[in-house]
Amino acid sequence: MADNGFRNDLLSDEFNNAVDKWAAERNALVGDLAFPEQVGNLRSPYAPPSKRGPNSHYALFNEEVTKDLIRHFCDGIGDKNPLYRWDEYAKFTKHGGVIAPNGILICIGEAGAGQGTVAPGFGRSLAGGSSWRWFGTVRPGDKFHVFGTDMGVTEKKPRREVPYRLFQATYRTTYLNQRNETVAVRDRTRMQIVAESRQKTESAFTERPRHRYTEDELDAIHQAYEDEEKNRRGSTPRYWEEVSAGDELFPVVAGPLTTLDVHVWMAAMGQQSAFNVNWDMLRGHVADHGWVDPETNAPRWRAEAHLVDAAARVTGLRSGAYGHHGQFESLMQKAIQNWMGDDGFLVFQSNRTRRPSWMGDTTTVTGSVTRKYEEDGRHLVDIECSCTTQDGEVHQTCEATVALPSRSAYRNEGAR
């Protein structure tokens, strides 16, 4: 049996044994490294010669951070911050020019460790969250290469009796720039529902109607968009000394979530492709990464579950299409960056996806300061954020750490 395994009496002995065997084989790969073998249609110059075949369908989505990529990323989360968009503003900041939000690296890629096999039966994999640690500012012109580290799977005991088993798989992606400096490390988790049939997978999810908004509700959303612009900290430094535990971040509102919102986000990421390039990735992976359209009988990419109700439902999600976890991680980053101002730096963010964000939901990001302290010469603040829908359901949370400028440090610099 796999470490920490939970055999499920609602599943057959044969299936339980197959799951245990799969989990043990996956955990034998802990520490295995994967190098994306190509950038778009070009072989990655950083990848070593392949000895075990392709490292799954993961690859670099974008190699270079450009002003255009930054703008597309910001458009994907509705971020109008001039520090990321306008030279005439950014050149007067301490950065001397446009920089990228930390979350831009999700557009570079995610190097999955590609040696593990797909779980037996009919599974459903959903984002569980991710933890980011950043070590430097990303600027236009930076070029990246990445590698992945397999961190294995851990079985989780469901809170209720269910006809499936639940695993958390974790992969680490390390991001290096053109100087081979480690700019960030991301631990990405996937929650894997492992069941014997689609019907048993569907039991993990309920179905609910989409919210129909009143004119007053829509007016409130649009007013929140305007209020956000008025409350961005921007060029006024937020000094560490003026912050206290319990201080609240100004809310960020996004919604109602539409297919176009998710499409713009996925296009900025650059993870998906069309026609023959899409088929190159899908070929041989229809069972584990695809679905078959019941109307056309054509195989399609499972990521369309973020866009198409039919794709979501055929893979077990009865409420239809849902948002992309990275979009909401980045919305929480936006709320933090709005609060900390141009001179702050987001050091760490640990995200947890509690449930999907369904199409039609409106998300409000709220947050507050939980702690302030000094460490290794830096003035740090811990923050907690959550994404809450119009119905009061929390679908994503995070804990973050920000480095802020200090008045005392500025005075000392002036004295020298």
CATH of the domain at 23: 3.10.129.10
Q: Using one digit for the tens of pLDDT, what is the confidence trace for 51-68? A: 333 333 345 788 899 999
Q: What is the pTM of this model?
A: 0.90
Report if residue 390 sits inside a domain: no
Q: How far apart are CA 161 and CA 204, in angstroms?
A: 10
pLDDT band at 405 (very low <50, low <70, confident <90, very high): very high
Task: Report how many domains make up the chain.
Answer: 1
Report if residue 64 sits inside a domain: yes
Q: Look up residue 215 and give its amino acid.
A: E
Report if residue 401 sits inside a domain: no
Q: Using one digit for the tens of pLDDT, what is the confidence trace for 171-180? A: 899 999 988 8
Q: Extract the tokens encoding 1.
A: 């049996």
Q: Which range marks the domain in which residue 89 is found?
A: 1-205
Report if residue 21 sits inside a domain: yes
CB 262 within 8 Å of CB 323: yes
**CB burial class (10 A; 0-12, 13-18, 19+) of residue 303?**
middle
Q: Look up residue 234 and give its amino acid.
A: G
Strands 42-43 and 290-292 come out as unpaired
CB 82 within 8 Å of CB 70: no
Report if residue 352 sits inside a domain: no
Report if residue 240 sits inside a domain: no
The percentage of the chain sitting over the pLDDT mark of 70, rounded to a whole number, equals 88
Report if residue 244 sits inside a domain: no
Cis preceding linkage at 48, omega within 30 = no
**b or e along 373-403 (b: 16 or more beta carbons within 10 Å of the residue's beta carbon)?**
eeeeebbbbbbbbbbbbbeeeebbbbbbbbb
Q: Which residue matches tokens 């702690």? A: 371
Report if residue 187 sits inside a domain: yes
Q: Look up residue 134 and give its amino acid.
A: W
Res 161: pLDDT: 85
